[in-house]
Structure 1
Amino acid sequence: MAGHGSRPLRGLESTGQSSAGTAKFGRMFRWLEPAALPQSPMQEQELRETLTELAGLMVTSEFQNNIDKGEPPDAPITEREPEDESPDIPAGYTYLGQFVDHDITFDPASSLQRTNDPDALEDFRTPRLDLDCLYGRGPADQPYLYEKPRRGKFILGRNVGVSGMERPDLQRTADNTALIGDKRNDENKIVSQIQALFLRFHNKVYDRIGPNFKPGEEDAHFNETQRIVRWCYQWIVLNDFLPRVCDAGIVESLMPLPDRRGPRLQFYHPHEGTAYIPVEFSVAAYRFGHSMVRPSYSLNDRIIAGSSGGFAGKQFSRIPIFPFPLRDPATDKPLKHQPTDSMAGFGEPLPDDWGIDWKFFFGTPNQQAPGQKQLPQPSYRIDAFLVDPLKDLPEFAGEPTPFGSLAFRNLQRGVSMGLPSGQSIARMMGVARDRILNDEQLWTVRNEGDEISPWADGAAFFAKARSQRWLTGAAPLWYYILKEAEIMENGRHLGEVGSRIVAETLIGLAWNDHYSYLFQMPLWNPSEELLGLPAKLDMLALAEWIDAP
């Protein structure tokens, strides 16, 4: 979606908005050399041209091709797309990942235009899974987030649910600016509703445990609610999100067991006892979610995209992620009636009836017969290809080509941060030789629907780059991680390099937070709170618990 990684961890305007000080970014593999190190302005320009061409190869054209044919840009919700869709990951986890990203990272300083020193960059979010994107600086310092008189519950906006569902928008000012702990969680209409879901979770827990507290114990009431909400969120991140997007065996091998006090981390080691965000995670591995983005989504049974009730005169059950111009394929002129609906956010309130029915985003995919609504909507596969709306991000419309391309921005930022190649990290991790991608796997083949096929455009690109001394045996880390998932895991989840970086970072952050459930009670589960939550809590179960009377 727009904004997810498109700016340098873009977020809050004031560094004073971190709830508990700042931490550092740093390197997980600090002994490895950068994958690309231009030695002159001419080499810098040559490398930029190479990355521009690679970014172009990484963006599909299916969305625009369908529009040019006068067809809806995406398949209807009743059709499966086995070549594109993940058979295992529902679409909601793309945006839960974005929500987690906003909870742990914010860097307003790094730039595409210069080489950056990760050890000198400040992370102005707390490097903990503590939901400071929800709680902000707390009721005493940001009372406008909380209801009077006790300021123990969050204020929510108007209800936009359908079929009797409670689906509030975020609280907004007169100009529709969202009043929340982190403005980034209003950057699209899906992540804003995940924000609202957790706000509602806090409010319901607060009400449920209210009888346990006497008058005058308001602070204790709020703090206990916050602990329960944070621990349940941490549980979901470590036990629901991670095993879906990573190799589940790797995640299991890292987590604490009854006979083991802490996690078994091999590569995430805090500097001087202080948790940090590895740039290999924030700049490369965790950006795997960009390849999972669909070009459009359906929110509930009433949604039909397009301001005229359809798309190019045809019924269509999804909303595009960005506004886009429709053109007459015969004349190439803009059509008179343009669709205006999109998932873009920032200052745009949720329209009536746009409240998400969470079974459209979470659950077990591919359970319905063809011709029925395919719920939950699957995410797209984790592979080296992004949907074409991500080629021209609306927020960078005024910048020169290729700076509006999300793929280019990710690739260029990896160079600016001096990231090692995917192959060098795989070797340092001790990945088996036959599991380390070679140049042929990286550049001459692709996986479509579980079938490996030749990739002529990639082969031609690599031959040119190799003649210019780039990329041979040294693929950009972000690209390598996507290609590893594509070739080794059929796009169903991250491969070994990606899984280890992502899982070790998130588990390491939780372990180094002495207030987390993982540190205080590593074998805890949500059912122990005696609130009717299941022991194996996941996002759909959480949403259903919140909706229940």
Structure 2
Amino acid sequence: MAGHGSRPLRGLESTGQSSVGTAKFGRMFRWLPPAALPQTPAQDAALRATLTTLAGLMVTSEFDENVDDHKFPNDTPDAPIDIPEPDDENPRIAAGYTYLGQFIDHDITFDPASSLQRMNDPDALEDFRTPRLDLDCLYGRGPADQPYLYAKDDHVKFILGPNVGVNGMDRPDLQRTLDNTALIGDKRNDENKIVTQIQALFLKFHNKVYDKIASSFQPGEEGARFNEAQRIVRWCYQWIVLHDFLPKVCDPAVVNALMPAPGQREPRLQFFHPHGGTAYIPVEFSVAAYRFGHSMVRPSYSLNDIVLKGTATFKGKPFGRIPIFSAPPRQPTDSMTGFGEGLPPSWGLDWNFFFGTPNKHPQGQKQIPQPSYRIDAFLVDPLGKLPEFEKSGSPFASLAFRNLQRGVSMGLPSGQSVARMIGVAPAKVLSDKQLWTVRNEGENLVPWDEGKAFFDKPENKRWLAGAAPLWYYILKEAEIMHHGHHLGEVGSRIVAETLIGLAWNDHYSYLFQMPRWNPSEELLGLPASLDMLALTQWVDAP
């Protein structure tokens, strides 16, 4: 995860100047003014100081507090898997959906351009791939152009790495070079060990589908069989995005209102419309709304019944699980960081630890599946010290600051203005009091003294009164209106319209070609209500 969010995507930062009719990125609410528009170097410095302080408020220091307060057995900086954290954990969403969201983000933003193409078209105005939910991270440019991704004998099934599963589980690592570089369609899917294994899961899914449909094809029809397997895998993935992921992270009522009504073919989109006939990624989605997943990140994870914790320490105390980051120099078993590290033995994920419905287990029993953290305006402290920037002393070491500053540089509108634009009832548009003086704790709203003190300072109120940064507003909306269980009306509208809109504007998607399709129609034993846990079970079944 070290690299996630650290570099802007090609074409993103020029969206304000680019034609919305041709660029890869565009604006969903291009009529709305920026929330903050500093006019002078002094104003720019003042706003940056405000955002730096706000970012500090948004990143917790729980590791220090947990050790200093002796909160957990053996003074671990994090909770072992047999200790629930009801104030932080989301009772509705399992931890794996955090990383499925990252996998989806990589899929729709995949940019296969060469370095020369990037130089010739840095704003991605002409040379860009239209965003689709089409799993290019798996298939790359296909067997003809990237044969090293596919088995040599027939170039129709993916090559996988060694099995690192436990208890008889088949959990292959990715195929890697001698220096452990992953050979995959999108290198970003090796940036942490959970996304790595989601990538491997879908590679296995393709291979099994290819085998299962053998009876429908004659010898010599391997190409057609490959294409049919690819279609089935892509449609099942799109189904999971629209029917499993979206209803979990968004308000289900918003998703239902957008999907095609009974007897109708088209989704009922209001704000996502192709510009110039070309689908695009809204900056309000990319820079603000879809970054809700940063607040869902747990500080650490257990992987299976054997690998419950790693080898890293904090203040001399071992972690209760495996932290997302650890300071260099480090061992591969210290953290969930990826990029050029093969999966250690026995580190194959037990998917029951990551997908399914979180349950309320008593203390002393494994909290399986591990819940994600709540969607709120707080990030775990490792995200305040991104490893590649930590020693710089720059505020950019904080993912919270990066998100806030990028929203300013992209000229994003305020959360309040977007809420009013999409028709949120006036009484439900968050007030300054709700945004800055209240926070969620478990299932309760409690006073937030630090937020009030920050907002009451004139130098901060000048920028934020009635004009909260869109990313911050979306997080607070989920926190205040839904106790962090899922996104509120603004966040749900932007995220759901974008992903449904991308699927609808892809004329090869199931939503466009067969909007009433479901996975059971493939007659492969896939359930009609396919979700991520059911997918893992189908792939693992004999």
SS in 2 for 1:158: strand
2:213 equivalent to 1:220: no
Structure 1 residue ranges without an equivalent (≥5): 12-21, 110-117, 327-336
Work out which of the residue numbers 475, 479, 503 in structure 2 matches 1:510: 503
SS in 2 for 1:469: helix
Shift of 1:316: 5.6
- AA aligned opposite 1:103: D
Q: Which residue of 1 aligns with 2:383?
A: 390
SS in 1 for 2:464: coil
Quick one: distance in 1 between partners of 2:125 and 2:407?
15
Greater displacement, 2-11 / 413-422: 2-11
Assess if the C-alpha contact under 8 Å between 2:247 and 2:255 holds in 1. yes
Quick one: distance in 2 between partners of 1:253 and 1:438?
26
Shift of 1:5: 2.2
Q: Which residue of 1 aligns with 2:119?
A: none
Shift of 1:203: 0.4
2:472 equivalent to 1:479: yes
146 and 108 in structure 1: CA distance in 2 versus 1, 3 angstrom threshold: closer
Shift of 1:120: 6.5
The C-alpha deviation readout for 1:41-81, integer Å capped at 9, x for no partner, is 11011111110000000001112322455721211111111
The C-alpha deviation readout for 1:193-236, integer Å capped at 9, x for no partner, is 00000000000001111221112211101100000000000000
- AA aligned opposite 1:452: L
Q: Which residue of 1 aligns with 2:138?
A: 134
2:520 equivalent to 1:527: yes
Quick one: distance in 2 between partners of 1:267 and 1:442?
25
Taking the TM superposition and a 5 Å limit, the aligned residue runs for 1:430-449 are 430-449=423-442
Number of residue pairs matched by the alignment: 520
Work out which of the residue numbers 86, 89, 94 in structure 2 matches 1:85: 89
Q: Which residue of 1 aligns with 2:4?
A: 4
Assess if the C-alpha contact under 8 Å between 1:72 and 1:312 holds in 2. no
Work out which of the residue numbers 72, 79, 94 in structure 2 matches 1:75: 79
Shift of 1:534: 0.3
Taking the TM superposition and a 5 Å limit, the aligned residue runs for 1:211-290 are 211-290=215-294
Shift of 1:312: 8.1
Q: Which residue of 1 aligns with 2:61?
A: 61
Q: Which residue of 2 aligns with 1:322?
A: 325
- AA aligned opposite 2:482: E
Quick one: distance in 1 between partners of 2:294 and 2:64?
18
106 and 364 in structure 1: CA distance in 2 versus 1, 3 angstrom threshold: same
2:414 equivalent to 1:405: no
Quick one: distance in 1 between partners of 2:127 and 2:449?
41
The C-alpha deviation readout for 1:79-133, integer Å capped at 9, x for no partner, is 1111100000000000000000000015799xxxxxxxx9866794541000001
- AA aligned opposite 2:2: A
The C-alpha deviation readout for 1:222-259, integer Å capped at 9, x for no partner, is 10000000000000000000000000011011111331
Shift of 1:338: 9.6
Quick one: distance in 2 between partners of 1:455 and 1:316?
29
Taking the TM superposition and a 5 Å limit, the aligned residue runs for 1:21-420 are 24-68=24-68, 71-106=75-110, 124-307=128-311, 317-324=320-327, 341-420=334-413
Shift of 1:537: 0.2
Assess if the C-alpha contact under 8 Å between 2:267 and 2:504 holds in 1. yes
Assess if the C-alpha contact under 8 Å between 1:157 and 1:170 holds in 2. yes
SS in 1 for 2:383: helix
Assess if the C-alpha contact under 8 Å between 1:127 and 1:277 holds in 2. yes
Quick one: distance in 2 between partners of 1:479 and 1:220?
48
Quick one: distance in 2 between partners of 1:145 and 1:460?
55
Quick one: distance in 2 between partners of 1:155 and 1:51?
46
SS in 2 for 1:470: helix
SS in 2 for 1:249: helix
Shift of 1:540: 0.3
315 and 385 in structure 1: CA distance in 2 versus 1, 3 angstrom threshold: closer
Quick one: distance in 2 between partners of 1:199 and 1:224?
15
Greater displacement, 394-403 / 456-465: 394-403
Q: Which residue of 1 aligns with 2:481?
A: 488
The C-alpha deviation readout for 1:235-292, integer Å capped at 9, x for no partner, is 0000000000000011011111331110000111110221000000000000000000
SS in 1 for 2:106: helix
Assess if the C-alpha contact under 8 Å between 1:365 and 1:376 holds in 2. yes
463 and 503 in structure 1: CA distance in 2 versus 1, 3 angstrom threshold: same
Quick one: distance in 2 between partners of 1:315 and 1:400?
26
Quick one: distance in 2 between partners of 1:355 and 1:399?
34
Quick one: distance in 1 between partners of 2:125 and 2:448?
39
Greater displacement, 297-306 / 197-206: 297-306
SS in 2 for 1:506: helix
175 and 452 in structure 1: CA distance in 2 versus 1, 3 angstrom threshold: same
Quick one: distance in 2 between partners of 1:384 and 1:222?
45
Shift of 1:382: 0.1
The C-alpha deviation readout for 1:13-36, integer Å capped at 9, x for no partner, is xxxxxxxxx951000000000001
Shift of 1:394: 0.8
Quick one: distance in 2 between partners of 1:302 and 1:421?
47
Quick one: distance in 1 between partners of 2:440 and 2:322?
27
Work out which of the residue numbers 419, 428, 450 in structure 1 matches 2:443: 450
Assess if the C-alpha contact under 8 Å between 2:90 and 2:374 holds in 1. yes
107 and 395 in structure 1: CA distance in 2 versus 1, 3 angstrom threshold: farther
Quick one: distance in 1 between partners of 2:331 and 2:203?
35
Assess if the C-alpha contact under 8 Å between 1:481 and 1:498 holds in 2. yes
SS in 2 for 1:235: helix
SS in 2 for 1:322: coil
Assess if the C-alpha contact under 8 Å between 2:327 and 2:387 holds in 1. no
287 and 122 in structure 1: CA distance in 2 versus 1, 3 angstrom threshold: farther
The percentage of aligned residue pairs carrying the same residue is 77
- AA aligned opposite 2:262: P
Quick one: distance in 2 between partners of 1:464 and 1:313?
38
Quick one: distance in 1 between partners of 2:111 and 2:54?
26
207 and 467 in structure 1: CA distance in 2 versus 1, 3 angstrom threshold: closer
Cα RMSD over matched residues? 2.4
Assess if the C-alpha contact under 8 Å between 1:297 and 1:319 holds in 2. yes
Work out which of the residue numbers 534, 539, 542 in structure 1 matches 2:532: 539
- AA aligned opposite 2:54: L
339 and 295 in structure 1: CA distance in 2 versus 1, 3 angstrom threshold: same
